[in-house]
Amino acid sequence: MPFWSDLLDSQWILLGDFNTHLADVVEALRPQIQPFVEWLHTHFVNCFPKGTATLAQADATIDYIFGSASLATRLVNSHTHHIPQQWTYHSLLTVDLITSGVSTFDDGTPSASSQYTGLQSVQEKWKSLKSLVRYCVQQFTRGQKARFKARVSHLQREREQLLGTAEEPARIK
């Protein structure tokens, strides 16, 4: 995959719904995806080697998180969080990324003796929290007015249709 070859020196986390079942040998050998699968297994480590749970609507696992080989020892504690099936057939996958310079125990838990110099003052934490809340509010409200207008317009059309069908029998008489 020539496009990606220049980026292999970087530390990557590749995640998503791949719309293919990489554990299925027959599917992984399909000519359309075989080069991608080979490249993926050459340069990345699967954070969920046992796979994620498959729900009834899905044929097999298609959600993945891969980390570049240079991050392999720092991607730990992978978990699958199940979401109600009414929402989606996907699961929420999480993995912890241990920052460089932090030593860990065998299970990936950060060691208490690690020298973490990134301590924030209370003011810095408050500033970060305010910034995060502001960002979330902006993302939520972006387009809110347009969505509201579209909903009102839709409801008005429905109302007109209902009133129109109610008036038609009265006109016929």
Residue by residue, DSSP assigns 63-121 as: EEEEEEGGGGGGEEEEEEE---TTT-S--EEEEEEPPTT--B-TTSPBPTT--------
Q: Among 61-65, 105-109, 126-130, 135-139, which is the least confidently predicted range?
A: 105-109
pLDDT value of position 156: 92
Bigger pLDDT: 143 vs 15: 15
Contacts of residue 56, defined as CB under 8 A and 6 or more positions apart, other chains included, come to 85
Most confident of 54-58, 76-80, 135-139: 76-80
Average of per-residue pLDDT across 19-43 = 82
Bigger pLDDT: 168 vs 74: 74
Tell whether the model's pLDDT for residue 147 goes beyond 70.
yes
pLDDT value of position 48: 79
29 and 57 Cβ atoms separated by less than 8 Å: no
Provide the mean pLDDT of the chain. Answer: 73
In this prediction, what percent of the chain has a pLDDT beyond 70? 65
Bigger pLDDT: 32 vs 53: 32
Query: Coil, strand or helix: which one is 19?
Result: coil
Taking only the tens place, the pLDDT of each residue in 84-122 is: 878 777 777 888 888 766 555 555 555 555 444 556 678
Average of per-residue pLDDT across 135-163 = 79
What CA–CA distances, in Å, run from 34 to 20, 105, 173?
Answer: 11, 36, 70
DSSP state of 33: T
Tell whether the model's pLDDT for residue 3 goes beyond 80.
no
pLDDT value of position 56: 47
The two tokens of residue 98 are 């241990």
Phi and psi at residue 65, to the nearest 5°? -130, 120
Q: How far apart are CA 125 and CA 121, in angstroms?
A: 6
